[in-house]
Chains A and B, each alone.
Chain A
Amino acid sequence: MALASFTFFALAIIAVASAVGVLIARSPIYSALSLILNLLCVAGLYLTMNASFIGVIQILVYAGAIMVLVLFVIMLLNLDALPSPRDIGWGPVAGFLFGVVVLMQLLYVILVGFDISLEPATPVMTAETGSAETLGIMLFTEYALHLQVAAILLLAATIGAVMLAQRSFE
């Protein structure tokens, strides 16, 4: 159990640090690389929860496909880092305060939730409920219609992306 908690805390610290790295990086390419590290750490966290299917999907779709798309667009647009504003306006300060308020609210809800017993299943976090077999059976029986709708959504997004990217305004 000590090893499991060590893995969790190591991954969590790297995930939070790389998420902060997305914010403080000047160049979008460093933001994207930090985000890839964050997504890989989150995939590792899914594996510590024994959710192997979602972990693999996370690596394939997020860290693979989506981030390659983002990096490709950054390369295509050939962006320089935006000039950092010399004077910090009220905008970032207000944004920071709002973010702190959001964090306080979320942590307060979690702290209140410490008392509420959710009656976790025994044994907790089994590999069985997160396996590809369980999820695959659910996906093709109970959620078959949802799967079709998701397929149509992805088709529409593909067509829309092609139409938007090749169209020039005026």
Chain B
Amino acid sequence: MEVALDWYLALSAVMFTIGVLGVLIKRNAIVLLMCVELMLNAVNVALVGFSQTLADPTGQMLVFFSISVAAAEAAIGLAIIIALFRNKRTVNINDINLFKH
């Protein structure tokens, strides 16, 4: 069985859905960030698959920049989590409701 683009796209869809489920279900802010990384990765797989299939390196440039944006996002997100933890002593997103009051 030849591994075609469709298999990579199906894998990407499944991984993206697992990431969405994690963001919806998990309560730990750090795990939430990790699930966002999972979704970014799934999209990257689809982009590289298209790029390699169509022999157009532009998609891989987009993946390169998306990885650098993901690095920035992880740094800022973890810094926010550290600041929140100092303030509230928890990372459970059910207990973090600073905007509610």
Contact = CB atoms under 8 A, between A and B. Distances in A.
Interface of A: 1, 4-5, 8-9, 12, 15-16, 19-20, 22-23, 28, 31-32, 35, 38-39, 42, 45-46, 48-51, 53-54, 57-58, 61-62, 65-66, 69-70, 73-74, 76-77, 79, 82, 91-92, 94-96, 98-100, 102-103, 106-107, 110, 113-114, 118, 120-121, 124-126, 129-130, 134-135, 138-139, 143, 146, 150, 153-154, 156-158, 160-162, 164-165, 167-170
Contacts of A73: 30, 78, 81-82
Given A79-B91, A95-B21, A106-B16, A70 B74 contact: yes
B83 A70 contact: no
Interface residues of B, number: 71
Contact of A118 (B44, B54, B85): B54
23 contacts: A8-B3, A9-B3, A22-B38, A39-B37, A42-B41, A42-B45, A46-B45, A57-B64, A61-B68, A62-B37, A62-B70, A79-B28, A95-B25, A103-B17, A106-B13, A126-B52, A129-B55, A150-B65, A164-B76, A164-B82, A165-B79, A168-B87, A169-B83
B61 A135 contact: yes
Contacts of A95: 21, 24-25
B52 A58 contact: no
A125 B8 CA distance: 12
Main secondary structure of the interface of B (DSSP, over half): helix
A150 B6 CA distance: 31
Contacts of A168: 83, 86-87
A94 to B, nearest CB: 8
Contact of A125 (B26, B52, B78): B52
Contact of A96 (B21, B55, B64): B21
| Highest count of chain A CB atoms <10 Å: which of B1, B19, B57 | B57
The 5 lowest CB-CB distance pairs between A and B, nearest first, are A95-B24, A121-B55, A157-B72, A106-B13, A164-B79
